[in-house]
Amino acid sequence: MMENHANNTGSGSPDGRTGSSTEDSKTNLIVNYLPQTMTQDEIKSLFSSIGEVESCKLIRDKVTGQSLGYGFVNYVKPQDAEKAINTLNGLRLQAKTIKVSYARPSSQAIKDANLYVSGLPKTMTQADLEGLFEAHGRIITSRILFDPVTGQSRGVGFVRFDQRVEAERAITELNGHIPKGATDPITVKFANNPSQNHAKALQQAAYLAPARRYLGPMLHQTARFRYSPMGADPMGVGNIPNGGTGFCIFVYNLAPDTEDSVLWQLFGPFGAVTNVKVIRDFQTNKCKGFGFVTMAHYDEAVVAIAQLNGYCLGGRVLQVSFKTNKAHKN
């Protein structure tokens, strides 16, 4: 599948080319963290205020047509591209802070340079995180995950470097390191790559389950039921978001009045959500108690499952896991 990242590494171009010339890299920009509702015309209008734009492309899910949260802008003149970075990088749009940087030609050197960092002090800011890692290489993107209800840090973050060798250096130097003012060491490792031992990773992620502490007869009964929608559609589920265009998450024990917007709000803080679907009864139009969320990035989906499985929503304890394939249903 195409590597769809809201915090994309920046390889590619608006017209689908993988830029190779130095001149092209000086005019071609990648724009990350775009608001979900922002259109391609709005992006072009914004960047055209800096200079003449040759081409602009908002990257969308091939099935749903929804924005994946990033796009490319290619200027006619290199100086306009440089000005756009200096002017628009860090601009606040709606609830997002966009990141504008040069798009880079695709190469092995820049792949798999995304790090997962845990054990961060709850008081650490994104600027602090970058300050901790910047000595080890050029940082492309970074983020700290926050609780959508309390607004407090979850102590987990991601740092993407320009090149893998820089990420490796950061792991060597910072894994087990105790940040200034902290008492516990942090863990630094490569973020999960879905192309590497994907089946095993999915299996492990399904058991990152805070809800496992709710063991009992009722849980075992619902656990058997929760996978039944993955079968031959005996409950009228209809079209489920295709895992081939993202990573599909199954959410069980939703209230009858649950709307799609609830799932957008619940999963949005963890990363790029490309599609949600609350499954409804054909006659009453009420939620049947479950739904699906498709996220663009595997590492963000893993964290969302780990944090939301067992989460109490409207007095109900949610069960959240990766959607299982028919071939692997229980």
Q: What is the mean pLDDT of residues 140-169?
A: 83
> CA-to-CA distance for 116 and 34, rounded, in angstroms?
22
Q: Which amino acid is at 29?
A: L
Residue with token string 């000595």: 135
Phi-psi map region of 224: left, alpha, beta (phi>0 left; psi -120 to 50 alpha): alpha
Average pLDDT, the chain: 74
Cα of 56 vs its chain's centroid, Å? 22
Alpha-helix runs per DSSP H in the chain: 22-25, 40-48, 78-88, 126-133, 164-174, 198-205, 217-226, 260-267, 298-308
Q: What is the mean pLDDT of residues 272-276?
A: 83
Q: Quick one: what percent of the chain has pLDDT higher than 90? A: 27
Q: What is the mean pLDDT of residues 181-202?
A: 66
| Domain residue limits, the chain | 28-102, 108-195, 247-322
pLDDT band for 157, please (50, 70, 90 cuts).
Answer: confident
Q: Please determine whether the domains at 28-102 and 108-195 fall in the same fold group of CATH.
A: yes
Residue 203 has pLDDT above 50, yes or no: no
Tell the CATH topology of 28-102. Answer: Alpha-Beta Plaits (3.30.70)
Q: Which token pair is 139?
A: 């940082």
Q: What angle do CA 248, 250, 252 make, to 5 degrees?
A: 165
DSSP 72-111: EEEESSHHHHHHHHHHHTT-EETTEE-EEEE-B---GGGT
Domain formed by 247-322, architecture: 2-Layer Sandwich (3.30)
The answer to whether residues 89 and 47 touch, using CB atoms and an 8 Å cutoff, is no
Give the number of other Cβ atoms within 10 Å of residue 66's Cβ: 17
Residue 77 has pLDDT above 90, yes or no: yes
pLDDT of the residue at 269? 76
> CA-to-CA distance for 100 and 89, rounded, in angstroms?
5
pLDDT of the residue at 227? 33
Q: Which residues contact residue 56 at a Cβ distance below 8 angstroms, ignoring those fewer than 6 apart?
A: 14, 40, 43, 44, 47, 71, 72, 73, 74
Q: What is the mean pLDDT of residues 236-261?
A: 71
Q: Where is average pLDDT lowest: 12-26, 93-107, 240-254, 307-321?
A: 12-26
Q: Where is average pLDDT lowest: 7-11, 65-69, 145-149, 218-222?
A: 218-222
Tell the CATH topology of 108-195. Answer: Alpha-Beta Plaits (3.30.70)
